[in-house]
Structure 1
Amino acid sequence: MSTLKTPTPTATTEEGGATTFAAVHPDLLRSHILTRLDGPTLASASSASSQLHALAADDHIWTNICHSTWPSSSAPRIRHIISTFPNGGRSFFADSFPLALPDPTTNSPSNLHPPSPSPSSSSSPELISAVDIHYQNKLIFTKVQETETLTGWFLCSPFRIDLLDPKDMVHTAIKHPKGDDMCTDLAEEMSLSWIVIDPITRRSMNLSSYKPVSVQRHWLSGEVQVRFASILAGDKKGSASELVQCGIVVTCGASEEGEMQVREVNLQVDDMDGMFLTGKESLVILQRALEGKRGKGGRKREEEGRGIYQEYLERKRERGERKLRTEGTLDTLCVGFGLSIFALFCFFVLCR
């Protein structure tokens, strides 16, 4: 008595079946398919099957993705730090690709103790910035900068990282946009990544909104300031630093030949009253955010970054209005109290 044989799942197309991943040699998948994927696509593919999950864990693939996504990550110091992350390039990408989110659970009183500035502190003695700027999908600026965090000057001064000296400027081969559409062009065509790395805790995060949140042209110099930002949870609820803005400003101008120049790139942290935070205050917030939540990846980064920034501006506006109303009430009370004192004084004089 004959039995019917069920076709195996690895049947080829010539045999009338569909070729599955199990039938493809792992080296072919690893070398010719997975290496062509970007980070988000590779992460999605790794959840499709146990075989793809194992192949997608290859650190060499993730390291190459990091280098192609952020050219600054190919610098020798950054390459070494990435190799120390728990899962190498995959961990670095998972930390750095999504946007950092303002996690309200991180600003509870138990989390508000600033690190000691002494050399024996567990806080990192430095923060490393890996910055890349693209315009029309072309790299126009890349730099790695180390910032010491234990000096008295850093802890007491307003937090600020400048990537270019005042007299320095980066020349590009790209024509600077002209006319009324210049700001619109930069808002649509420029992207920036500012990855902050703590080499001690082996964590990283991206402080950029990926796309600009605002573009403004200076009325006198003609230079254009392109702003990127991320919003992080700061101090206790109700305070000016309940939410803080990590603002990145890229100043662009045109050379005599009409080519774009990058003249300034800096990062500062300010609260909802517009006051700049010190290095010590900023370091506490940044270190807490490094352990916090991350947002979405892919194309939704742009929408999410701008959306969070607009919510921050709305809350900042509401806080300003409340502050004005409070100050107005206090002024009225002070004037009323002064008039009452003056009236009592006049009454006392007249009664004598």
Structure 2
Amino acid sequence: MMQWLDYLDADIVPFHILPRLDGETLIVLSCVSTEFRNLIINNQDLMRKICISIWPSLLYRDGIACRIISRFPGSYCSFFSQAFPSIDYYHPFPPPPPRPVTTFVYAIDVFLQGRPFYRDLTMEQVDTTEYPSARKYDHLRKTFELQWYGWGDRKKFFHVKKEGCEEYLKQNMSFSCVVVETKTKCAGSLFHPSTCKPVSVLKETSPIAIDVVFKTFIPAPGLYMEMVKCEVKITCHWEDGKEDRFYMDTIHFTMDDMYGKQLTWWYGSLIISNVIENGVRRKINKKQT
């Protein structure tokens, strides 16, 4: 194929063909030949645009996530390869223990009809190096919970009819959560950006609100149990009851074991660290999206 492309102008492929392809196709194409791999990996501006189009939250808070990703080996191409594929649910053997962790960056995005509805980015200091001692008992008891609020300038309004809103949101809302670990320079999607759809939508009457729930399971062999459940509840409202002022109010993220018991902060952080560093990514293919 590259012999045929040699007949084209040198700028045709990198500046006119590759920018028209999505990130999934580019990663697959980079495996076709060394020439294609060099063209794609060396074009970090191209991969940066692809990543930001999938995860708009990477630009939030002055683009701190982008600065972290730029220090990855392979930069945005490496980040995309880690964050876009689903993390495999099965491991033939227990994975090795995670390396010491300093900071997680949670980049979250909510989409409505494919358009950005809400974005946020949170940095959390964590310590998974040792089991909490007695003097850290409060840290041991603290449950794993993350919350985001859609107040202030971040409030973004959409038009959503109240009648039939449950089915509409179930079909048109999607959620993404990609976690970046700053020390080991790795990343992974807890909620996959292209396949995560609500499992339930519940309409509250007083006050009028909508709870949209997303769930996923991630592996935790050798750490806690074989699987743990991650659940996100997104609560939305109509400001002043107006259908053209539908907005995201809160996002509540928790982790439970398979018996429904909520994980502590230490265990939850340890499992996330392990899964993004050691979890096996599924092969990228068109069927995934």
How would you bin the TM-score normalised by the shorter chain?
0.7 to 0.9
Contact 2:220 2:275 in 1 (8 A): no
Q: 2:114 aligns with which of 121, 131, 137?
A: 137
Q: Give the direction of change, closer, same or farther, for the CA distance of 1:31–1:282 in structure 2 (3 Å limit).
A: same
Q: Give the direction of change, closer, same or farther, for the CA distance of 1:184–1:298 in structure 2 (3 Å limit).
A: farther
Question: Are residue 201 (structure 1) and residue 175 (structure 2) matched?
Answer: no
> Taking CA–CA contacts closer than 8 Å with sequence separation of 6 or more, which of the two structures ends up with the larger relative contact order?
2
1:236 Cα deviation from its structure 2 partner? 5.0
Q: Give the direction of change, closer, same or farther, for the CA distance of 1:47–1:102 in structure 2 (3 Å limit).
A: closer
Q: Any idea what the Cα deviations from partners look like across 1:118-177, whole Å, max 9, x if unmatched?
A: xxxx52222110111111121111111111214955553000111128x77953331123
Q: Tell me the percent identity.
A: 23
Contact 1:149 1:155 in 2 (8 A): no
Residues 222-233 of structure 1: matches in 2 within 5 Å? 222-233=208-219
Contact 2:236 2:247 in 1 (8 A): yes
Tell me which amino acid in the other structure corresponds to 1:211. C
The alignment partner of 2:73 has SS state of coil
1:277 Cα deviation from its structure 2 partner? 0.3
Tell me which amino acid in the other structure corresponds to 2:187. S
1:190 Cα deviation from its structure 2 partner? 1.2
The alignment partner of 2:74 has SS state of coil
Tell me which amino acid in the other structure corresponds to 1:157. K
The alignment partner of 2:155 has SS state of strand
The alignment partner of 1:61 has SS state of helix
Residues 1-352 of structure 1: matches in 2 within 5 Å? 20-57=4-41, 58-75=43-60, 76-105=63-92, 108=94, 111=96, 122-150=99-127, 152=136, 154-164=139-149, 171-179=155-163, 181-209=164-192, 210-221=195-206, 222-235=208-221, 241-256=225-240, 257-258=242-243, 259-290=245-276, 291-295=278-282, 297=284, 300-301=287-288
Q: Give the direction of change, closer, same or farther, for the CA distance of 1:161–1:33 in structure 2 (3 Å limit).
A: same
Q: Give the direction of change, closer, same or farther, for the CA distance of 1:100–1:274 in structure 2 (3 Å limit).
A: same
Tell me which amino acid in the other structure corresponds to 2:202. R
Contact 2:29 2:36 in 1 (8 A): yes
Q: Give the direction of change, closer, same or farther, for the CA distance of 1:212–1:146 in structure 2 (3 Å limit).
A: same
Q: Any idea what the Cα deviations from partners look like across 1:18-38, whole Å, max 9, x if unmatched?
A: xx2111123221111111211
Number of residue pairs aligned between Structure 1 and Structure 2: 271
Contact 2:204 2:211 in 1 (8 A): no
Contact 1:131 1:193 in 2 (8 A): yes
Q: Give the direction of change, closer, same or farther, for the CA distance of 1:168–1:69 in structure 2 (3 Å limit).
A: same
Larger Rg belongs to: 1
Q: CA RMSD in A?
A: 2.7
Distance 2:78 2:173 in 1: 26
Contact 2:51 2:76 in 1 (8 A): yes
Distance 1:155 1:71 in 2: 34
Distance 2:110 2:26 in 1: 24
1:191 Cα deviation from its structure 2 partner? 1.6
Which residue does 1:314 correspond to in 2? none
Q: Any idea what the Cα deviations from partners look like across 1:252-278, whole Å, max 9, x if unmatched?
A: 121222221101112211011111100
Distance 2:52 2:214 in 1: 22
Distance 1:101 1:63 in 2: 25
Distance 1:104 1:170 in 2: 40
Q: Any idea what the Cα deviations from partners look like across 1:93-123, whole Å, max 9, x if unmatched?
A: 01111122323345x3x75x6x7xxxxxx52
Contact 1:157 1:279 in 2 (8 A): yes
Distance 2:153 2:168 in 1: 21
The alignment partner of 1:67 has SS state of helix
Gaps of 5+ in 2: none
Distance 2:116 2:220 in 1: 33
Segment of structure 1 superposing worse, 139-148 or 149-158 = 149-158
Q: Say which structure is richer in strand.
A: 2
1:49 Cα deviation from its structure 2 partner? 3.9
Distance 1:284 1:216 in 2: 30
Q: Give the direction of change, closer, same or farther, for the CA distance of 1:299–1:246 in structure 2 (3 Å limit).
A: farther
